[in-house]
Chains A and B, each alone.
Chain A
């Protein structure tokens, strides 16, 4: 099977401080990977580095997407290739409506004009999966959205942009049980209907309950300490990260 994402010996620092140390990770098309680890281990850093956040400096190693080296590529180019990052704290952008924004982004992603009629139909269908009121499309991007609404708006963008790889950075944090369930529905739709690959960053396991997990990675102090199948999630659930800390 062809590799979708290849992270090779990737080291990353933030403001001169080394965070990730020689990370290796391969995600194949359609696979779901989970990245777990205690706070400050470098989970979000890996997500941001894959997306190309200029705040994060790559000090060593390479990133390959569909076999092409994207290590030096700007964020927007990566997005067009089909990489998506769901933000932990999505930013508020006044004066830009959620609907218009998604449509502009789709036009960039697919390199063609999206007809308004088709767009509206698809948007409504996706909003329904997430139980979002259609009026949100007219509201300014994330402005005045509650924590849960912001996360839903992120998953809405995921469904509309149909990336090949979606990185979900703590998408479940701060959500109540119902909201986690709804967001999971959206993620499941992406997984099934679009055969999308996922890298789910989380330190809880609630969001994973309804999803099939192919691989689980445990990251501690900027290094991948263990990789296993979906059952590793249960182990962490029962025992925490303690057993990975020594050594």
Chain B
């Protein structure tokens, strides 16, 4: 029963080639690439404060000078000369439901996403309950003195100064070309500030916020958890997010204060035409704890390596991630841990799955600096390939600059075992179900870290991805 899912192999250029719709003057702008005028236009639309406008322009300069990455999966399919077509304001809202690819519509249906929500996720722009949920969430946490809003509004409020002090300080525009691009054209995203000693008991979910605002291509997430405070932030959603403009270059910056704890869970499931070049980084002060839980599905190409800087003594971080690369996908994911403080510890635990010719690469770096005495780090990465045409690679880097550190690394790459499938089938379970069970079981140590409804959705996703794996 070969029922392969439709994949978007080539991007239909007509979807974002605006020459036929736009006036002549703009046509020339497009040919020139990303210009100051366009960035200023974005800045003006957003009503940026002056410093932000200057920041955008500076980032643009860096963007023009920076080179494309010369490692990792091929992104030559990205139309960098005409990068403006990806960043033009409002392009993502200009489409209709009819243009949304069939496989995405099917996935919405199978995941049981309501009609109105589907349209919003597909970028068509629809109003629905999210607005209300988001509003209620905001009110509830506000009582504890927590700020949870979009960055644009926060820039003009009492926290404008705080944003200025933190915005792109962890991921400076000089970091890489797409960080610079982000700095120039960022739009939308979340700002969270948890004051000293406050424990936010309900997880904050950006899903509702993003849906309510229809954002999500160059969004910026800035979270500051002050001393002794605690927060669980959940970003994304398991349904595929579809954008006509198929470049995602978001940025996430997380500041974890002394004795504070932040758990950041995310499922990224972009539509399969997407180039996902996302940058996420956290800085942890003394005794602070940073926990990442990350699921990467979807997208055509992903570069994603959340990084934690363990700055304070005894700071800790754990990264738990799962990546599923299907047909036509090349997902390069992993994590980076930088140990600076004494007695810092980190643990990276990942599972990657590839099928149908998909490529999944685990890439990580553990850096232990000279002053990080008694640092501990452990890495466990496991890969499962579901067939002979799929591929799995492991690229771990370890850089230890002190002789007082304890570093461990364990990697396993394997295929799904025919004997295990036979074993499960001999108990009456169908072949498809048996393989789903094995794959879900393989990802179990990650999915059990997710909030329950996400774990259920992730298993559904795996099941969906497995349809067509048999044949």
Contact = CB atoms under 8 A, between A and B. Distances in A.
Contacts of B445: 95
B460 to A, nearest CB: 15
Interface in B285-343: none
B422 A53 contact: yes
Contacts of B442: 94-95
Contacts of B26: none
Interface in A4-42: none
A10 to B, nearest CB: 18
Main secondary structure of the interface of B (DSSP, over half): helix
B427 A108 contact: yes
B423 A95 contact: no
A136 interface: no
A95 B425 contact: no
A96 B426 contact: no
A201 interface: no
A93 B428 contact: no
Interface in B420-466: 420, 422-431, 434, 437-438, 440-445
A76 B423 contact: no
A104 B429 contact: yes
A149 to B, nearest CB: 16
A109 interface: yes
Which interface class (under 10, 10 to 19, 20 to 34, 35 or more) fits B? 20 to 34
Interface string A87-112: 10011011110000100110011000
B127 interface: no
A140 interface: yes
Nearest to B420: A91
B418 interface: yes
Given A74-B431, A76-B430, A90 B441 contact: no
Which of B427, B430, B444 has the most chain A CB atoms closer than 10 A to its own CB? B427
Contact of B425 (A76, A87, A90, A140): A76
Nearest to A96: B441
A161 B417 contact: no
A75 B419 contact: no
Given A87-B423, A91-B419, A76 B429 contact: yes
A84 interface: yes
Given A76-B425, A76-B430, A79-B425, 11 more contacts: A54-B418, A75-B425, A78-B426, A79-B429, A85-B426, A90-B423, A93-B437, A94-B442, A95-B444, A109-B427, A157-B427
Interface of A: 51-55, 74-76, 78-80, 84-85, 87, 90-91, 93-96, 101, 104-105, 108-109, 140, 157, 161
Interface of B: 417-420, 422-431, 434, 437-438, 440-445
